[in-house]
Amino acid sequence: MRKNKRILLIIVLNLLMSLFVVYLNPRFDILTLIGFLLINIILFLIIRKFEKKKEIELEDKINNIFNLLHSLDLNSDNYEIIDDEFGKLRDEIIKIIVENKRIAENAEKNKEILREYTEDIAHQIKTPLTGSLLLLDLLEDEEDESVKEYISRLRDNLLRLYNLSDILLKLAAIDSGTIQMTRDRVSARDLIDDSIRNLKDYFINDPIEIPLYGDDFDLICDKKWTYEALFNVMKNGLEATEGRQIEIQLKETNLYKSIFVEDFSKGLNHEMLEKVFKRFYKLDPNSKGYGIGLPMAKSVMERQNGELLYHKGKKSNAFELRFYN
């Protein structure tokens, strides 16, 4: 509407000034033409000046909105209301930002509550389990064979619960986002050797040999959590392969450094690959695991700006722990 009024005003001014030129020189010669040209030049300069002024005013109002957003106290509902063409837009932006801030704060509080609950549950489980395991040590001195068998079964179940509570604590720490990943300089080969040594204890009844190929390199990562990720990926590979056979390969490029854990199982199709990264999903329901090793490894890698990738081959498959330089 304002634009139409402005155009109409320009037309009227042009007409009046043109009539004034005709009045001064009614012969329509070169002087009249020059007069018309001067009128339009003057009108153009006036219009341009007003447009420039409007542009400056518009830019100032936009900058005022930016300044308001940067200086806005999101904990307060009081802010200056300015009645102009940007008033409604300014109000809506502020309302959206304040609302999103409150949603984010509530989500953070809920996440913290969930983490505390998980830690409390895990600790509550661990306390009686520790006592029960100590009592089992005393009962194992009994001579009765049937009692020893029951004790063995009970010990296995208690150890499963004990390990589960430990895993729940680790998951709570990762999911809450409260842990800070450290940046340690770690030898990839040392990290793998530690995992192999503990895997041999884990699969104590199965003689396992894990060959390692490739030149060693240093990783900048959180040593503790990267070990957890690598151990779980290697354990999954051993459990998936008949004969407990996996191989480790190290690869370094200009962009990234990778640890490949290669197994010789049937591998995963696309549907299975989506499921294995879901918490508590197990390919083999009868396996001793809990279905959270790969999801945790994926979370650990992503928290360090890395990736956990899967490669399916004809005779073997590999999970790749990729660390970007």
Q: Rounded CA gap, 39 and 121, in Å?
A: 86
Give the residue, 73 or 317, on which the prediction is more confident: 317
Give the residue, 12 or 298, on which the prediction is more confident: 298
What is the identity of the amino acid at 244? R
Pair of tokens at residue 194: 């530690």
- Looking at 126, 141, 176, which one is the last position of a domain? 176
Pair of tokens at residue 140: 């194992």
Q: Are residues 120 and 160 in the same domain?
A: yes
Q: Quote the number of domains for the chain.
A: 3
Instruction: Write down the pTM of the prediction.
Output: 0.57
> Is 133 a member of any domain?
yes
Query: Does the pLDDT at position 25 exceed 60?
Result: yes
Pair of tokens at residue 115: 């983490």
Q: Are residues 257 and 318 in the same domain?
A: yes
Q: Rounded CA gap, 233 and 145, in Å?
A: 38
- Looking at 158, 176, 194, which one is the last position of a domain? 176
Residue range 98-112, pLDDT digits in tens: 777 777 777 777 666
Q: According to the model, what pLDDT value does residue 105 have? A: 74
3-state secondary structure of 258: strand
Residue range 232-266, pLDDT digits in tens: 999 988 888 888 889 999 999 999 999 999 998 88
Q: Are residues 47 and 152 in the same domain?
A: no
Q: Rounded CA gap, 112 and 191, in Å?
A: 32
Domain span at residue 158 reads 114-176
